[in-house]
Structure 1
């Protein structure tokens, strides 16, 4: 049974549901992935079992009960494969083994088994666009020389200029600088160039080569045979490059163009037309083949989730057509301004786009690549997207950011479809904004000479116990990135069982979401509030409508007569919903 916190007696007038829902309810027995809440674990920063300052697989296994108690359905693990860690594991040297800093294959098996015992599904990262330069294939390619079969597995090209001294085209790395590096051949002379859309230590595979495709299909089977329930596919939109590798007309980062108006959901440019290494049509053939492999394993469904920073939405949903991937991250929602019209537009367009191909929408506010939303929302709405925050930058309002983050999450978890939670957001963690430059490890920071701060601030090890060494992250003081002193206030042991804490809010929301089957509900917007309110209902068979009111305006708003509040992101004021607060209420 759910607990009613308040019964409201101050009615709001002239409220009514729109004439038609923007999204119809899913089947009550819909596949798990159509409504699941999935928790992202960044292994380096989750829990350290051996005191070396780096999180590991045994540390994760020991903390899985926390996630079961939180109420999520599945976990997604960022890469733990063998890697020189030039890009925190997204530079893979061996896709079939565990890096010793994280443990062993036996540790991976134990983690999967324990998660399944707790009813948690396990999704692992797959990084197919590029490998590490320490991968055996790439080392063989360097040794074999120009024109070899080994080099054809990667994107080697002759340079331009009289002596090949210029790169093959003008492509730039997502991390800054050119996307091409020239090699020194075995005879000591300058030779060909290889493509790396990311770091120099991350050479791009040639996905036109059948051996590359066969290798990754084999890797999928390797992990499926070990019991994983699916794969989050890194840079899913980047595998295929335009034929002839023409010059790019613009540079886009992995997160899109940080200078554009990211809040417009219609009529945005198709970056594929100007950036020949993103969203080429050939990627879809790859994922159709992968989908067949996953379906061959039978029930329950194994899934693919695309990390595809693709615009417009009509292009993005091509990745989740019925014979391709199951989910794709909704980066439009993540990038929304804290403004009611923007949020309403993104919710409406996201559901319409996903419904057009029969897929569930997904909702996400934070991950390992962006400033945490508890910090991001501490800036005025419309602030230009930032890639990290340093001590010398304008600082977010920490109290305001957390208040808005709680309201944003409460809105997010009411929406039908799937949802993703990034580790530590259930504690209300802000970004680390005072990290000294000497500790920063993101390749972006080095390759841009510090002009872009990078992603280290959202990757700091978690605080579990306020008064323990490394805030309970591990048995000693070591932590691979320094934890800000303020993190002690957010430690898990400071929030468990504490009424009103962010942790207990997440637990309550996730419990209600499951009990009310919100992930498979319909969505109808509610009319009658002002322009600063997002109001909607989530309805399902055999239950009352859930009214959701997110107040982004300056004035408190009331709810309909007889509404029963089930959850609120913050305290009500004399029964009214104050600014930067979201409420769930049963509405008969």
Structure 2
């Protein structure tokens, strides 16, 4: 087997400076934030659904992992039609997860461990069981109650056709017709997701005032910020024109044709400037360590449009979904890293990296598909199965690359264990509304939301003591449980701990990044910080790559990397 040598790679070249770095910057510019999906983290009650006391009990695990903050997916009062993203009361905890006092305890315990707490905010839509929507249904067309949502008259002489042709992200029409108080067919309401998730009318000042109050409620309780769901969707184009572009979880934009009338309208930015003022008002000391921060879930293209969300008077962060969706190729990753820094540096914002979350196939499975495969919305038993070995190897390398990149980073619960999606889950147990509304055409997100394995030989792999679990766990999760990896050299858990420790020691999140153009098989980069120079090398090719003579390996995505770097492996080293 031939070897690509370091001389051929010319790792001593200056490279292209992509990012100048932000030393001594605010915590959120370089923080590593860990997403907890409460239903699946840990179940203290034993009912099969994770809860807040379960999270609190395992907070020391996150301290030992080395993260800076946690983001909690919704725990609000909800009928759970979309796993909590259908909120009935934004100021209370659903009994499924505990009580408001449990939230206060969680925040207090996290802070005592040096972990900040970010909560999910769902402003595009509420539950149809929200008091406002129930009042809207009881009120007449044209009433103030209905103006809080997107009610419209139907088309046709009898109003029997939807107001426009928009489709729901979850499948089917984005409009549902109501029955009026007198029993006659009435107006239609918009729901870009499930019918049980009616969209708010953000042109109404009362909606804006309500959410500003909700922000203050949770900030007063002590949370450190918000992840904002569907941040690009609050404002719709005037007149609600028809749209024939994509409307599914694979692609929320179709900008090659035209600008979608329901996404990324300029009017959203005024809303977020108001929110930023509220968050800034809670930092009374002026010390950036006390900043409260917001992160946007904004599926927006191109990068220059996405960067508008992170101007200095709006969001602090926005997820880099372009990076998440980039194929496992050096040229593609080099390009997305460069374009991301170019767009965000223009507005003085950090780039916020992410590889997995509760809405996408886990990257340990996604990267096991043939390179270049479009990102699937779920993988089922009848689908071609990912290569588990290659997927995990690439996932470890991808994370090693990501955590070397200056900026912030988000981790999704269980990725530090190398968890794959549950790709053989029976259809009968699926709960994602996407699966039902597309009649199984889109499998949905259940496969990445399976409860975590804590202990191989306990019921439900330690998720609780009863063995109940709201989604079934695949048998492979037993061997990947926390107790099977803790303290085990070379395990994925110990790799993550080592990456996070060295990232913090060497200030990599605040560094300046230069990337060398080394062709299709290698991505080589250099991060300059106050702690010195850290070299990063990722091998995408079939042949091993020689690490420079005299290099000191700091950490590698696979064990026993010394003088050569095998395929699908990443390394940090100094020279």
Q: TM over 0.5, yes or no?
A: yes
Q: Which is further off, 216-225 or 297-306?
A: 297-306
**Which of 122, 144, 169 is the equivalent residue of 1:149?**
144
The separation in 2 between residues aligned to 1:112 and 1:432, in whole angstroms, is 31
Q: Distance in 1 between matches of 2:194 and 2:16?
A: 48
Q: Secondary structure at the match of 2:226?
A: strand
Residue by residue over 1:509-528, the C-alpha shift from the partner in whole angstroms, topping out at 9 and shown as x without a partner, is 0000000000000000134x
Aligned to 2:551: 563
Quick one: which of 549, 554, 567 aligns to 2:542?
A: 554
What does residue 73 of structure 2 align with? 78
The 1:420–1:573 alpha-carbon spacing in structure 2 relative to 1, beyond 3 Å, is closer
CA distance in 1, matches of 2:306, 2:538: 27
2:508 is equivalent to residue 522 of structure 1: no
Q: The residue matched to 1:22 in structure 2 has which SS?
A: strand
Distance 2:472 2:16 in 1: 51
TM-score, normalisation: structure 2: 0.97
Unaligned runs of 5+ in 2: none
1:420 to 410, 422, 426: 410
Equivalence map 1:314-325=2 (5 Å): 314-325=304-315
- How far off its partner does 1:575 sit? 1.7
Equivalence map 1:431-446=2 (5 Å): 431-446=421-436
Partner of 1:25: 21
What does residue range 306-385 of structure 1 map to in structure 2 within 5 Å?
306-385=296-375
Secondary structure class of the residue paired with 1:206: coil
Task: Supply the distance in 2 between the matched residues of 1:121 and 1:90 (Cα, whole angstroms).
Answer: 22
What is the root-mean-square deviation of aligned Cα atoms in Å?
1.3
Task: Find the counterpart in structure 2 of residue 4 from structure 1.
Answer: none
1:263 maps to none
Please say if residues 48 and 56 of structure 1, whose CA atoms lie closer than 8 Å, have aligned partners that are also in contact. Answer: yes
1:538 aligns with 2:522: no
Structure-2 separation of matches of 1:341 and 1:142: 53
For 1:184-207, what per-residue CA distance to the aligned partner results, in whole angstroms no more than 9, with x for missing partners? 011111000000000000000000
Q: Measure how far apart 1:563 and its partner are.
A: 1.2
1:285 equivalent in structure 2: 270
Structure 1 residues 221 and 257, CA, compared in 2 at 3 Å: closer, same or farther? closer
Distance 1:288 1:575, change over 3 A: same
Instruction: Structure 1: give runs of 5+ residues left out of the alignment.
Output: 1-9, 259-267
How far 1:129 moved relative to its partner? 0.2
Per-residue deviation at 1:373? 0.1
Q: What SS does structure 2 have at the residue aligned with 1:107?
A: helix
Equivalents in 1 of 2:153, 2:562: separation in Å?
Answer: 72
- Displacement of 1:561 after TM fit? 2.2
Q: What do the CA deviations read for 1:535-574 (whole angstroms, capped 9, x no partner)?
A: 0001112x33100000000000012221110000013566
Asked if the contact 1:248/1:274 (under 8 Å) is kept, the reply is no
User: What is the match of residue 213 of structure 1?
Assistant: 208
CA drift at 1:11: 5.2
Secondary structure of residue in 1 paired with 2:19: coil
Aligned to 1:90: 85
Q: 1:253 aligns with which of 226, 248, 252?
A: 248
C-alpha displacement of 1:20? 4.3
Alignment of 1:230-249 (within 5 A): 230-249=225-244
User: What SS class does the counterpart of residue 16 from structure 1 fall into?
Assistant: coil
Query: Is the Cα contact below 8 Å between 1:112 and 1:122 reproduced in 2?
Result: yes
Instruction: Supply the distance in 2 between the matched residues of 1:191 and 1:345 (Cα, whole angstroms).
Output: 51
| 1:278-327: CA deviation from partner (whole Å, max 9, x where unpaired) | 00000000000000000000150001100000011110000000100000
- Measured after TM superposition, the shift of residue 253 of structure 1 is 2.5
Q: TM-score, normalised by structure 1?
A: 0.94
Structure 1 residue 344, shift from structure 2 partner: 0.5
Q: C-alpha separation between the residues in 2 aligned to 1:251 and 1:343?
A: 25
